[in-house]
Amino acid sequence: MRANQVPTEEIKREPAAFDDRVTADGRYGRTAEPGRYRLIINRACPWAHRVVITRRLMGLEDAVSLAVTDPKQEIIDGDPHWVFTEETGSPGGRDPVLGIHALREAYLAREPDYDGGVSVPGLVDVPSGHLVSNDYDRLALDMATEWDGLTREGAPDLYPETLRGEIEEIGEGVYQDVNNGVYRTGFAPDQEHYDQAVDRLFSRLDELEERLTGRRYLAGDHITMADIRLFVTLVRFDAAYHGHFKCNIRKLIEYPALWAYARDLFQTPGFGDTTRFDHIRVHYYWVHEGVNPTRIVARGPDPRQWLLPHGREALGGSPFGSGAAPGPVPEGERVPDLR
């Protein structure tokens, strides 16, 4: 969908166009090698954010380099594209490693006749410049489970075998009603579709509020992929989805447990230190002209609220289980301090 269009039917998310898997043993054809791959993201995108969080928690910053595109996108041949600009640290508007201006160039390097959509995240093979995968969920899962030998000492088990059934059951509901639910609400083509989507969204948030009232994390006693998947939508909720997408039955801050849970994660290394509220606001309010034709970018809410005490320690558990917190954010990847 073009940035200035209003949908005429309910939004449907397309499957990943490219989904090559990268593993330590190379059993799917591609081997995890330090410096071989570059992860192209946008700080505004929740689907990309879950991969960035996973990469940081697993300590893969040195193994997989990071490239950040401009939150405003650029219209090329009538369609919005993820591009590199001077404003986001790319001299001459080109990624300094891959030499490309638009992510689409990596798609076309892989498949010259490709005419589909372009999405972030995109994992790119540096030597060839070919896109390897834009399958955000598989990328995150593989980084969490299949990059043995490259992950840091003390990396958490984000996808414990004993909890995978529970994580996926929770994840399916979160994906349908929350992660994708905010988009189905914001891009609803008519009142009926909007009412259905917004009701499902807040019914699911009500269920999650109840679940998290008596437990610190969604599954088990430490952070798992279930928490990462939910966090990326929660952290954008009041800043973008509540106003811009009309997800306004309640704000996140009006849910006592969910709001405290989200702050708990935000204050955990890997979550808040990979979040840029300025990119989030600019992207959503600027790019979706069909929803916001004036392109006026909202200034609030004050992100410093995310630093308020959460009190979730009283529920037990620990963020990384038997593991440890990741080290400092690499110099070139730091986001603005909220203080």
Annotated binding site for glutathione: 82
Looking at the chain, which runs of residues are DSSP E strands?
22-23, 30-31, 37-41, 64-68, 74-76, 79-81, 122-125, 131-133
Active site residue 183: yes
CA distances 330 to 45, 205, 243, 274, Å, are: 20, 34, 33, 11
Taking the C-alpha atoms of residue 189 and residue 169, their distance in angstroms, rounded to an integer, is: 29
- Write down how long the chain is: 339
Give the 3-state secondary structure of residue 80: strand
In the residue annotation, 45 being an active-site residue is answered as yes
Secondary structure letter of residue 302 according to DSSP: -
Pairing relation of β-strands 22-23 and 74-76?
unpaired
Catalytic residue among 183, 241, 261, 284: 183
Closest CA to 124 of 116, 114, 134: 134
The active-site residue out of 37, 45, 136, 285 is 45
Catalytic site residues? Answer: 45, 183
